[in-house]
Amino acid sequence: MTSARPRHLSLRKAVIAAAQRLEPLGINRGSSGNVSVRAGGGLLITPTGVPYDALTPGRIVWMDLDGRHESDWLPSSEWRFHCDILRERPDLNAVVHTHAVHATALACHGRGIPAFHYMVAAAGGPDIRCAPYATFGTAELSANAVSALEGRRACLLAHHGLIACGHTLDAALALAVEVETLAATYLKALEIGEPAALDAAEMQRILGKFSTYGQNPGRPRR
């Protein structure tokens, strides 16, 4: 937008802050990831091709959930799955996408993360799925991501990266960090061999405990 004081100023600043935390948190490099948050019947999303240290509130793009944008700046090339996720999942308010190294390494083999560790349940289910590959920015990729996120708050994208979602931007960021940590641990465990998985009954117990643990909605805690 071109006005001196764009709408949803505090949320625009929050999107910038979240985007600028991706690299210090060790879950992204450069500006390859993207961040969005629900706002005013649509969403605010990082623009395409703009370094995170050059972001300003006016460069954050407002879009409706059908993909129409309201800005002189173009939205992230991955705007489609941000819109589709937030349209299909009213329980979620924020989406973080990164090319975190360990999660992406698994995704390049088309592998998700099984129930090898109880913290896999932090993503909302007994495993973290890997969505089938599709070209970035396409409706096919978006459909694959929405499907992989069914009953979950995170997924991997084959040959691409990860998506983490949450009730808040902080929750989505925290989950992205957790997924990357789990991916790194799983890869390390695979050096010895495929680790045993926790059984379905135990994962259901963990999911039940996570549903009432902690004080921030949408953010399971140990």
Strand partners, 36: 45, 95
User: Which of 23, 70, 78, 191 is the catalytic position?
Assistant: 78
Report the 10 Å Cβ neighbour count for 196. 10
78 is a catalytic site residue: yes
In the chain, how long is the greatest CA-to-CA distance? 57
Could you give the residue numbers annotated as active site? 78
